[in-house]
Structure 1
């Protein structure tokens, strides 16, 4: 992207232009060798954001990781977080020595006011299958899933299903899963459960969150 948006109107125009490029019909890989988690950390007293990527193998062992800390290029506006977080995340991805088969990012994909959250944006720009997993609900409505791990309820926005509230541990608050690019919702939820053996959050983004926080504190 030659000109990075600096206004709300420019950013929304980019989302509208790229949204038709999202592939929601590709079922995506049923099995992946390398899965990457992506998250960002914000410096408490500086206008900087740190993008972190952690790549795990089938056994959820770390095989590679990278970070990038940059000055923020866009204001803090709900629905447009991608324009703050994408630059360091893309740089961190470029610094990896391996190419992930699947990206799981801390954020939203289709569950977004313009159906084009961070996971969709990342997927379109990288061409990789991408899933959004959020800790809190953002748009749409959903019922609370049954208390058992693997239970889910749809997230609906208007007449559309844009994601699922998915229980990753018994009797623990669900996460909010949405398609990003080149992966079905069924497959996305299966990957989230596979990568969530012990905690509420998938291991790739749990580790990316920890890495981004630690690097954002370095002065």
Structure 2
């Protein structure tokens, strides 16, 4: 089973006030410089919902790096425990993600989250929250902007510009495919923005999303009794 240190969630916030307090308390633990070793395995995590959003299905896909071959995966389902509120995604998705991570047989060295890192109103998006909880380097790669502004991004794949909020650089807007909507990359935990951006580009193939996110997204929507994906 996974060698990750998965914390107990015996107490998990149920109100916006409790969630805000946790974000404010834990954001000071986020490390925005490179504290990561050799990267042999990179994981993507993603969450889907079923039965009118009452059931959370969380998935993790572990890929070898740098050749990006799927080497491990896990899926878990559980009752949805927090409402959908922009800026509080982690409280809705992390319980399932932790359960899925616990099932892994290969421990990832870096995790790419489908959501924000510090490009967040309180500088504590899901990538930060997950990274701090399990003390693993994480990157936020979001499909839409939550906070901040940027200059015009050139249309060619590989181009990027800084994402800024109130004078602070909080992320990078990157073009993962030519003439396709950009992605919003930000630091999660134990990694710098430049390194995070570099790893995201290295995890891209011919699709808009990094392979980590693309495969985790597929797993989050499969029928869970499919033996191909059982862990």
TM bucket, shorter chain: over 0.9
* Counterpart pick for 2:110 among 102, 109, 113: 102
**1:66 has 2:74 as partner:** yes
Aligned length: 217
**1:149 has 2:157 as partner:** yes
Give unpaired runs (5+ residues) of structure 2.
1-8, 227-231
Q: Distance in 1 between matches of 2:224 and 2:194?
A: 34
**1:25 has 2:26 as partner:** no
| Superposed counterparts of 1:126-165, under 5 Å | 126-165=134-173
Contact 1:104 1:133 survives alignment (8 Å): yes
Q: Deviations over 1:90-147 (max 9, x none)?
A: 0000000011010001000000110000000000011110000011111111123112
The equivalent residue for 2:95 is 87
The equivalent residue for 2:54 is 47
* Counterpart pick for 1:167 among 163, 172, 175: 175
The equivalent residue for 1:36 is 43
Note the C-alpha offset of 1:188. Answer: 0.7
Which stretch has the larger CA shift, 194-203 or 207-216?
Answer: 207-216
Contact 2:84 2:92 survives alignment (8 Å): yes
SS in 2 for 1:97: coil
Q: Distance in 2 between matches of 1:207 and 1:132?
A: 16
Q: Distance in 1 between matches of 2:104 and 2:224?
A: 19
SS in 2 for 1:128: coil
Which stretch has the larger CA shift, 145-154 or 129-138?
Answer: 145-154
**1:176 has 2:184 as partner:** yes
TM-score normalised over the length of structure 2:
0.90
Contact 2:42 2:212 survives alignment (8 Å): yes
Give unpaired runs (5+ residues) of structure 1.
none
Q: Deviations over 1:22-44 (max 9, x none)?
A: 10122545x52100000000114
- CA RMSD in angstroms, aligned pairs only: 1.6
